[in-house]
Amino acid sequence: MSVLSGKKIILGISGGIAAYKTASLVRLFIKAGAQVRVIMTPAAKDFVTPLTLSTLSKNPVNSSFYNEEDENAVWNNHVELALWADLFLIAPATANTLSKMVSGSADNLLIATYLSAKCPVYFAPAMDLDMYRHPSTLTAFEKLSAYGNIMIPAESGELASGLSGEGRMAEPENIVAFIEKHLEDALPLRGKKILVTAGPTYEAIDPVRFIGNHSSGKMGYDIAIAAANEGAEVILVSGPTHLQLKHDNVKLLRVTSAEEMYNACHEYFANVDVAIAAAAVADYRPKTVASQKIKKADAEFTIALEKTKDILASLGEAKQQQFLVGFALETENEKENARLKIKRKNLDLIVLNSLNDQGAGFGKPTNKVTFIDKDFNEEDKELKAKEAVAKDIIDKIKAHYNV
């Protein structure tokens, strides 16, 4: 999953031959999962058509403050456009547009929107060799960078004039890669490693049957995605579940039993910064596993059970610098039991949810939790989607690291 997924992007296009590349640029942003709105200068329409870009972006293209052919038309609100965006890219940024960005000469919709932008602004220069090296252009680069804008350097190659050298707008693939890396480097949990467990465990009775529970794994998967979206490198140890996850920052390890989950957790725990145990691990397993399917015979059937290894307690014993988060699913004396679990398992934070709360528990898209930290400070949360609960949990991690 790209860091651009879900981002709202304004692409500003000025009047240079490199504008023909913006069709590919829009497609790459859409493919990455972003929403795109295009603003063109009047001159840009000489190089690429608004119809092409509106078709690719699935949004109308704006190029003027109002529609001169419709006297009843509503004006294109540059402030509203600017506030909509999560990031703003001007590509190509011609020498003329760079000069207007520096001076604040808002004689077109693109520059007016740029001046109203509150989001990060990237610009990709494109011009001929001598223009690129001209002192006025170099000064514009310096001033725009001082304003907080991010320059995507031009590349060297064949130019429209027939010359070869620096000034060619970066290729669309390189522009997208530049922005992705810049955003990733700024993510608050960049450089942190987080271990997450999710789902149930299945404890075999025979080759056909098992002891399990109703956990879907969704809470743990949502936590893994939320952590990865904040830049963390995530190891997700998942019990059996139908859920799928594809994210560049997530390594998914599938296991079946509590023993397999225990081994996987201890393989990685020493090298992580945070561990979040969201899995519903079986407390007991059959003492003996039949090698063949057990046939139905007597009216009653007894299975001898033995305790599984307590994964969370064992991580608490092995804990050094790690921030350890556990879950408690209770049906009675909820907070008292959760506080005991914090001490007994050496936790830094516990996420308590009760089966008595409507909308909480296994197999539901929502959850209602209470956070209790190692000092027994409590924070009750309202019922919300599990994705939102996952974000709340990751916010606790960010607060721990003051990021």
Interval 314-345: pLDDT, tens? 999 999 999 999 999 877 888 999 999 999 99
Query: 163 and 65, same structural domain?
Result: yes
Asked whether the beta carbons of 350 and 327 are under 8 A apart, the reply is yes
Give whole-number Cα distances, 297 to 52, 108, 300, 372, in Å. Answer: 72, 85, 8, 49
Residue 69's pLDDT band, with cuts at 50, 70 and 90, is: low
Query: 377 and 345, same structural domain?
Result: yes
Strands 284-286 and 323-330 turn out to be unpaired
**String of DSSP letters for 344-402:** HHT-SEEEEEETTSTT-STT-SEE-EEEEETT--EEE---EEHHHHHHHHHHHHHHHTT
Query: 96 and 213, same structural domain?
Result: no
pLDDT, residue 35, reads: 97
Query: 376 and 229, same structural domain?
Result: yes
Asked whether the beta carbons of 36 and 63 are under 8 A apart, the reply is no
| Mean pLDDT confidence for 358-377 | 85
Q: How many domains does the chain have?
A: 2
Q: What is the pLDDT of residues 178-234, one digit of tens each?
A: 999 999 999 999 999 999 999 999 999 999 999 999 999 999 999 999 999 999 999
| Mean pLDDT confidence for 338-360 | 87
Query: 181 and 205, same structural domain?
Result: no
Domain that holds residue 129: 8-185
pLDDT, residue 67, reads: 61
Report if residue 231 sits inside a domain: yes
Query: 209 and 127, same structural domain?
Result: no
Query: 285 and 386, same structural domain?
Result: yes
pLDDT, residue 353, reads: 86
Residue 248's pLDDT band, with cuts at 50, 70 and 90, is: confident
Q: What is the pLDDT of residues 16-49, one digit of tens each?
A: 999 999 999 999 999 999 999 999 999 999 999 9
Rounded Cα distance, 155 and 18, in Å: 12
- Which of 167, 185, 203 is at the close of a domain? 185
Report if residue 3 sits inside a domain: no
Query: 203 and 166, same structural domain?
Result: no
Query: 125 and 14, same structural domain?
Result: yes
| Residues known to be catalytic | 213
Query: 217 and 180, same structural domain?
Result: no
Report if residue 1 sits inside a domain: no
Q: How far is CA 84 from its chain centroid?
A: 19
Asked whether the beta carbons of 178 and 89 are under 8 A apart, the reply is no
- Which of 133, 150, 185 is at the close of a domain? 185
Write the single-letter amino acid at 201: T
pLDDT, residue 163, reads: 73
- Which of 158, 185, 212 is at the close of a domain? 185
Report if residue 380 sits inside a domain: yes
Query: 216 and 180, same structural domain?
Result: no
Q: What is the pLDDT of residues 78-128, one digit of tens each?
A: 888 999 999 999 999 999 999 999 999 999 999 999 999 999 999 999 998
* HSE-CB for 55 with a 13 A CA cutoff: 7
pLDDT, residue 68, reads: 58
The CATH code of the domain that includes 24 is 3.40.50.1950
The CATH code of the domain that includes 199 is 3.40.50.10300
Report if residue 376 sits inside a domain: yes
Query: 85 and 115, same structural domain?
Result: yes
Report if residue 237 sits inside a domain: yes
Report if residue 2 sits inside a domain: no
